[in-house]
Structure 1
């Protein structure tokens, strides 16, 4: 589902669009929210209403990893990356670990 597909889907499904907007954090930029919203919509049908909090948490894990460089267990990152497959984030930041920076400096 591309961002155009998401927009078209939301135009055709106003109730879903309104419900999904309630999940947006006031701190999220438009770019951040659009990506996380797509993550939520792609995976919405896989989570029953009692599991909705789990989906929203997974969407935050994915967004925090992509936009803020937060680290999580390999198993959790693999799960959210699989769930986000096909979502394209323009100009996503690139993060390096301290070990990567030290290794690069030692190689000079």
Structure 2
């Protein structure tokens, strides 16, 4: 059973922009720098700095923390990340409650 559609504001940032932000963060390094900065990523993806911060926060990215941030080599990382997050948000009924301690 799923919820009925609810009224509300539609997301203003397209999924393609979010995916591009994730891909650049995890698979590229900026020219003349060792890590992405919020403003340089915002310019590179053509979104606001607040949007970049939101995407990084929602995905647990901390590129400024070099010792804890790992860049995956997988070119399909963004797709797989979406699949995993989708499973957490929409757990199949057969597994609901299985992993609760």
Give TM-score, length-normalised by structure 2.
Answer: 0.28
More helix by share: 1
Give TM-score, length-normalised by structure 1.
Answer: 0.27
